[in-house]
Structure 1
Amino acid sequence: MSDDASAGEFDFKLYRYTPSLAGAIISVIVFGVLSGLHLWKLIRHRAIYFTPFLIGGIFETIGYIGRILSHYDKESLSGFIIQAILILVAPALFAASIYMILGRIIRTIHAEHLSLIPINWVTRIFVIGDVFSFTLQAGGGGIQSGGTLDMFNLGEKIIVAGLFMQIFIFGFFVVTALLFHMRIAKRPTATAAQGAVHWKRHLYVLYTTSALILVRSIFRVVEYLQGNDGYLISHEVFLYIFDMLLMASVMVIFFVFYVGDLEPKKRKDVRDSGELELNHRQGQWS
């Protein structure tokens, strides 16, 4: 074995610090509470499409439990794998629900004709892309657990590819949402004009949460590109600033500005919406 290879193997470490116990415990409490609150909201509004979001919150909670374990044994591979994979892929699950919301906004205000992408494909395209991104990141994290430097480097490359895909998908998603926003602002449907559905607020929530996840994904890309001995991965504070805080903020925003009005709970909701559109058309004909 060459001296360079030996040096590389010698220099590799799971952690270049002892994971903060206080930071991990606070994170577990924050994500645990937020996940519980989102479970309550999901049941209350019957918003089944928000299930991936809830699972993402649970992943974050378990991931930081892994960091608690790593605090007591930072050489343990099990604790490292738990936190590395679950904290890494949780935002992709948040993204899946975010993508679904845009399609529901468009349908709820009867603006299918203003969508850049055919409405039946809006959710499919973004969620399928998100699934690929999720798979790459999770698969890369799994490969990293192989225990060798070569496996870690290969897993790192796959994770970066998954993160780049996530950034690309989010960029296209934001463009799609912005274009729809401009079109509906110029030619509002009767349902949008009536104001029963807070579609503008929902779109701004999508923009804000998408930006937070984008910033986090860019941070992760830079972190992995710097390598195992890079500055970002060597300083734990950046994980909490650019990952934990941003993802907790996403959960808080969606709890405060929930999208329950996009998920009709009774047939009356659907009937009332249909009557609004019919009345608008009758007014145009008269």
Structure 2
Amino acid sequence: MPDVLPSPNYELWCYTPSFDGNIILAVIYCILLGGHLVILLRDVANFGIPLLIGGILEIIGYGCRIYSHYNLDNIVVYTIQLVLILVAPLLMAPTLYMFLGRLISKVYGEGLAIRPQNWLFTGFFICNIICFLIQCIGAGLLPQESLSNQVQRYSYIVFAGLLFQSVIYLLVVILALLLHFRMRKSVNTLGSRTHWQAYLISFYVITILLLVRTLLRVIEFAAQPSEYINTQEWILFVFDAGCILSVLALSFIWYNLKPRLEPVYIEDLEYPRRNIFQLK
């Protein structure tokens, strides 16, 4: 990748990235990720690893934006921040699927969720990888083209990846809602003690935050570079960084949900009495 612009008249940035604003965001990310890292090391909560990885990419991305404040013509740094901030939430998304699986296991809701669950969550992971590749290819090639038709083509590639990502989030919410309705009809005492409804509500909030952020980027890449959404940095700060930081903050409560370790006898309205033992 060249370090110089494709042509003298080609501009990477539609504005000068804020030095102070990006530093503040990077510091907040570091604080929240520090908290996640401490809990991960203490509780060995593997489902939080994707959050940590995605957050690290966000920090690197905003670090590149800080550097770009004084280096607006550096195409390599511009591309790094564009790609990392774009795909970081995709790397956080597996935490959603892993947490939902842990919640289903904790309340013994395997018989109430869509089956087979392994195939379902594997499908989400595969779709996530496809979205990741599409967005990386489109965003990685976007800054290297000076011709307007080529730029528009790569923008549409990213647009398609983001739209696909939005559909995945909607499907995850539908899956959780289906589980929610079925659980309300078949509640056992163990499920009541785990406050499963509160965890599901937090799951909805976090998924919707990711969806809002993704829809913002859909609008951004569908718009022309000169349009308002692409010329105002505060929109990125509020609807991208704000949503992702809220996800990192809210997800702390998920660590309170421990994996089930002991065999328990349960009864519900649809399934006979049985012994279940599952480590995670």
- TM-score using structure 2 length: 0.87
Match of 2:155 in 1: 156
Match of 2:200 in 1: 203
Q: By how many angstroms is 1:152 displaced?
A: 3.1
Which residue identity lines up with residue 275 of structure 1 in the other structure? V
1:259 aligned to 2:259?
no
Q: Is the 8 A contact 1:140 1:159 kept in 2?
A: yes
What does the per-residue CA deviation read over 1:154-199, in whole Å, with 9 as the maximum and x for residues that have no partner?
A: 3211111110011001111101100110100111245213x1x232
| Unaligned stretches of 5+ residues in structure 1 | 1-8, 264-268
* CA distance in structure 2 between the partners assigned to 1:11 and 1:253 by the alignment: 44
Which residue identity lines up with residue 198 of structure 1 in the other structure? H
Match of 1:27 in 2: 25
Q: Is the 8 A contact 1:215 1:242 kept in 2?
A: yes
What does the per-residue CA deviation read over 1:99-119, in whole Å, with 9 as the maximum and x for residues that have no partner?
A: 221111111211111112422
* CA distance in structure 2 between the partners assigned to 1:11 and 1:165 by the alignment: 33
Match of 1:270 in 2: 261
* CA distance in structure 2 between the partners assigned to 1:262 and 1:174 by the alignment: 22
Match of 1:131 in 2: 129
Which residue identity lines up with residue 32 of structure 1 in the other structure? C
* CA distance in structure 2 between the partners assigned to 1:137 and 1:190 by the alignment: 45
Q: CA RMSD in A?
A: 2.0
Q: By how many angstroms is 1:151 displaced?
A: 4.5
Q: By how many angstroms is 1:12 displaced?
A: 4.6
Structure with greater proportional helix content:
1
| Unaligned stretches of 5+ residues in structure 2 | 1-6, 275-280
Q: Is the 8 A contact 1:137 1:162 kept in 2?
A: yes
Q: By how many angstroms is 1:262 displaced?
A: 3.5
Q: Number of aligned residue pairs: give it.
A: 263
Q: Give the direction of change, closer, same or farther, for the CA distance of 1:190–1:125 in structure 2 (3 Å limit).
A: farther
Q: Is the 8 A contact 1:202 1:259 kept in 2?
A: no
* CA distance in structure 1 between the partners assigned to 2:258 and 2:158 by the alignment: 34
Match of 2:171 in 1: 172
93, 96, 107: which one aligns with 2:94:
96
Q: Is the 8 A contact 1:12 1:228 kept in 2?
A: no
* CA distance in structure 2 between the partners assigned to 1:13 and 1:26 by the alignment: 26
Match of 1:244 in 2: 241
* CA distance in structure 1 between the partners assigned to 2:101 and 2:223 by the alignment: 37
Q: Is the 8 A contact 1:28 1:61 kept in 2?
A: yes
* CA distance in structure 2 between the partners assigned to 1:63 and 1:151 by the alignment: 24
Q: By how many angstroms is 1:61 displaced?
A: 0.6
Q: Give the direction of change, closer, same or farther, for the CA distance of 1:237–1:57 in structure 2 (3 Å limit).
A: same
- TM-score using structure 1 length: 0.86
* CA distance in structure 2 between the partners assigned to 1:241 and 1:117 by the alignment: 38
What does the per-residue CA deviation read over 1:29-59, in whole Å, with 9 as the maximum and x for residues that have no partner?
A: 0111111111111112211122111101101
Which residue identity lines up with residue 206 of structure 1 in the other structure? F
Match of 1:219 in 2: 216
Matched residue SS, 2:254: coil
Q: By how many angstroms is 1:18 displaced?
A: 0.9
Which residue identity lines up with residue 180 of structure 2 in the other structure? H
Matched residue SS, 1:112: coil
Matched residue SS, 2:257: helix
* CA distance in structure 2 between the partners assigned to 1:158 and 1:110 by the alignment: 41
* Percent sequence identity over aligned pairs: 35
* CA distance in structure 2 between the partners assigned to 1:253 and 1:215 by the alignment: 16
What does the per-residue CA deviation read over 1:53-95, in whole Å, with 9 as the maximum and x for residues that have no partner?
A: 1101101111000100110111111221121011111111221
Q: Is the 8 A contact 2:99 2:254 kept in 1?
A: no
